[in-house]
Amino acid sequence: MNRLLIAGLLLAAAAPLGAQGVVVGPGPDTPLPPIGPAVDPQVGALRDSALDGDTYAWDIVEGLTTEVGQRLGGTEAEARARVWAVAKLTALGFSNVHVEPFPMGVWTRGAESAEIIAPFPQKLVVAALGNSASTGPAGVTGQIVAFDSVDALRRAPDAVVQGKIVFVDHDMLPTQDGSGYGQFGAPRRQGPTAASLKGALAIVVRSIGTDHHRNPHAGVQTFTDGARPIPAGALTVPDAEQLARILKRGLPVTMHLTLVSQVRQGGQSGNVIAEVPGRDPSLAPVLVGGHLDSWDLGTGAIDDGAGVAITTAAAKRIMDSGRPLRTIRIVWFGAEEEGLFGGFDYLARHGKEALYAAAESDFGADHVWKLDSKLGPERKAEADMIGASVAPLGIVTGAFDKADGSDIEPLIGSGVPGVAFSQDGTRYFDIHHTPDDTLDKIDPIQLRQNVAAWTAMLAVLAGPIKPDPKRPPRR
C-alpha cells in the first residue's frame, strides 16, 4: 500500500459521524481551496487533438516491432533498430538526428530446457536470465533445494545448498503502480548471487510476473560480491507452481537443466537522439524518451516500443503546431535492460549540460492515471499547470517531490528536474519480458491517452508554441 492511500484511509476513518451515521462535511467556516490555474486554450486543443486522432505513436511502435522485432542490447538486432530509428526520426522531420554509440559486452541466449528427472519425470518451461553462466549443451543435473525468498536462501547453511539447484519462489500480485516488482524481483536480481556464494550448482526462480501462462519472464541479473557466475533461469509461473507441488510430496526432486549462452566482448550499443529546435536556443532543453532496446523473447512492444512511440509522437505534435520556446530533445536510449547503459552514457557525455526537465515513458501503453513531478518548490505553479492540463484525461496530481524513469534515473540522481506519469500497471507484469510482449497487447485508445498527456506536458514545459515561418502548421 502506498503512503497516499494509507493517508486517505486514515482521513476517512477520522471523519466524524453524525447522529444518523452520516459523514459530516466541513463546517461553514472552512475556506475553499485556492483556485487552480486556468489551462491555456492552446495546450487544451493540442491535448484533445492527440486524444482524438493521434496516429504517430501507433505508426512508430507498429513499425519498430514489425520491421525490427526484438532488439537485445548490443546485438546486431539493436544495431538495425538504430538504423531504423534514424530513418524514422528523419522522415518525421526532426532535427539533429544522430546516434551516440558506446561499447558493451554482449550476452545472448542459446538452447534452454528444464526437465524433472525424479520423482515425476516431466518437462518444464524455462528461460535463462541475463548474464547467466552457460551449462554447455550437455546441461547439468542436480537435486532441487527450495526457498520462498532470497532471505531464506541467504539464511540457509552453505551445506544445504552446495552442489544443488536452488529454486526460489515468491508470490507477486498485480498492482496498479507495479510496486511488487521492487520486492518480488529480488529472486531474479539477488537470487543467483546468493546461490552462487553458497556453492550452488545452478538456480531457477519463479518468473517475476503476475500471469498464469507458460511464458518465462526474462530479465537481467548481475553477479556481485565476488560470486562466480552460475547458470540462472526463470521458470514460468505455472511451472514454478508445479515444481512447488512436486516438492510438497516430500521426495527428493532431481532436475536436468540446460541453459546455453554466449558472452562476447567488443559489442556496441548507442543512444539515438533527435530534436525539435526551440525558438530560443540559449534556454535549457526538455528531454523526453524511452528505451529502444528490448528483451529478446517478444518484440518489445510494451517494453519499450510504446515509450519511444508515445514521447516521440507528443514531440512531433508540438512540432506540427509551430515552434516551442525551448528545444525538445528526444532520446531513444540503448541497452537499458542490461543495466541502464544508455542512461549512464548520456549522463557521462551530457551531464554538464543544463536540462529544464527530463521525463521517460517505460511502463507499457495502458492509460496514465497519475502525475508526479520534481521541478523544485520555485516551479510549483508550473507543476500545477501540467496537472490542470492533464486532469481532463482522468490523471490525478500526486507528489511534487519525486520523479523517476529507468534511463533518466542517472540524470534525476544528478539533480535534473523531472516529471513522471504513472501508467496503469495492473496487467504490465503479465507481459513484461515475456514472448507475449507483442503489438497486439497495445490498446490504441489508451495509447492515444498517453500521447495526449505527454503532448499537454510538453506544451506547458517547452511552450508557448508560436507559428514557424518556415513550416506552416499541419492540419
Q: Which part of the chain contacts Zn ion (CB under 5 A), choosing from 76-84, 235-243, 303-311, 395-403?
A: 303-311
State yes or no: residue 293 binds Zn ion (CB under 5 A): no
Q: Which of residues 355-414 bind Zn ion (CB under 5 A)?
A: 362
State yes or no: residue 304 binds Zn ion (CB under 5 A): yes
**Amino acid, res. 281:** P
Q: CA 448 to CA 433: how far, in whole Å?
A: 23
Q: CA 62 to CA 77: how far, in whole Å?
A: 16
Of residues 237 and 308, the one with the C-beta less far from Zn ion = 308
**Closest CB 410 distance from Zn ion, rounded Å:** 15
**Closest CB 139 distance from Zn ion, rounded Å:** 31
Contact predicate 462/318, CB 8 Å: yes
**Closest CB 354 distance from Zn ion, rounded Å:** 27
**Closest CB 334 distance from Zn ion, rounded Å:** 12
State yes or no: residue 296 binds Zn ion (CB under 5 A): no
**Amino acid, res. 201:** L
**Closest CB 307 distance from Zn ion, rounded Å:** 7
Look up residue 83 and give its three cell numbers. 538504423
Of residues 239 and 304, the one with the C-beta less far from Zn ion = 304
Q: What angle do CA 232, 222, 198 make, to 5 degrees?
A: 60
Among 275, 296, 303, 345, which residue sits at the site for Zn ion (rule: CB under 5 A)?
303
Q: CA 114 to CA 413: how far, in whole Å?
A: 41
**Closest CB 128 distance from Zn ion, rounded Å:** 19
Applying CB under 5 A, what is the total number of residues that bind Zn ion? 3
Of residues 75 and 321, the one with the C-beta less far from Zn ion = 75
Helical axes 306-321 vs 41-53, angle rounded to 10°: 130
The DSSP result for 40-97, as a single string, is PHHHHHHHHHHHHH--HHHHHHHHHHHHT----TTSHHHHHHHHHHHHHHHHTT-EEE
Q: Which part of the chain contacts Zn ion (CB under 5 A), choosing from 1-9, 188-196, 298-306, 450-458?
A: 298-306
Of residues 304 and 366, the one with the C-beta less far from Zn ion = 304
Q: Which of residues 326-365 bind Zn ion (CB under 5 A)?
A: 362
Of residues 217 and 317, the one with the C-beta less far from Zn ion = 217
Of residues 112 and 304, the one with the C-beta less far from Zn ion = 304
Q: CA 339 to CA 189: how far, in whole Å?
A: 11
Distance of CA 37 to the CA centre of its chain: 31
Contact predicate 297/53, CB 8 Å: no
Of residues 203 and 411, the one with the C-beta less far from Zn ion = 411
Q: CA 238 to CA 431: how far, in whole Å?
A: 14
**Closest CB 446 distance from Zn ion, rounded Å:** 17
Q: How many CB atoms lie within 10 A of CB 397?
A: 17
Residues that bind Zn ion (CB under 5 A): 303-304, 362
